[in-house]
Amino acid sequence: AKRKEELGPEGLAKLGKRLEEAKKKNDAPIPASLIDQWSVPGTDSIHFIESDTARSGHARSVGLGAGSAQKFIDAAPNGKAPLFIQFEDVPTNFVHITIHIGTSQVPDELKPLMPIFNDNFFNTHIMRNGEQVGFEQVVMELERDTISYALSSARSLGDADGIMIQFQVEPEKYAAAVEWIQTMMFDS
């Protein structure tokens, strides 16, 4: 309202005219001669990201990886949790952690509360050493320890009812991310 008052009817008309001219220029087709200046690269020039798969727990039933990541996982002591764990070793400067959680065991009468759970997951207080830590401090520490974190639908994994917890961290913060997963799942 203040800006409209400052410009007045003449100023608004002038800006309106500039906007229409810009829209016209933006909507003009790109000449084919300009586009034809660049050749279309062959598909052999497309390099896909290679990954080394390793599986542990119930995931071993799907098959084992053949690379060094599988050898590393096989050398580790077996855990006791009956989890389906798949690792993807991808060349990157960051560690990406995705936890896929099915919700089939959530009672039907509680499923309408899932959006509240999802919204609240990272925005809640936690217990640390018997003391309550406020959600503001939790969020500040999560921002400090991670590049990104999220809880969202597992639809992109082919599970419309499941949820995903995701962390992206620098390699030296991997242990902190694992601690955050445990804290947010069991101490909040």
C-alpha 112/C-alpha 107 separation (Å) is 10
Distance between first and last Cα of the chain: 46
What phi, psi does 19 have (nearest 5°)?
A: -65, -45
Q: Specify whether 175 is located in the same domain as 99.
A: yes
CA 135 to chain centre: 21
> For the segment 93-142, what is each residue's pLDDT rounded down to a tens digit?
999 999 999 998 999 999 999 999 999 999 999 999 999 999 999 999 99
Length of the chain (residues): 188
Residue 171 lies in a domain: yes
Residue 78 lies in a domain: no
How many domains are contained in the chain? 2
- Burial of residue 45 (CB within 10 Å: 0-12, 13-18, 19+) is exposed
pTM: 0.63
Contact assessment for residue 121 and residue 184, using Cβ atoms and an 8 Å cutoff = yes
Range of the domain at 146: 92-186
Residue 136 lies in a domain: yes
pLDDT bucket at 1, cuts 50 / 70 / 90: confident
C-alpha 112/C-alpha 129 separation (Å) is 33
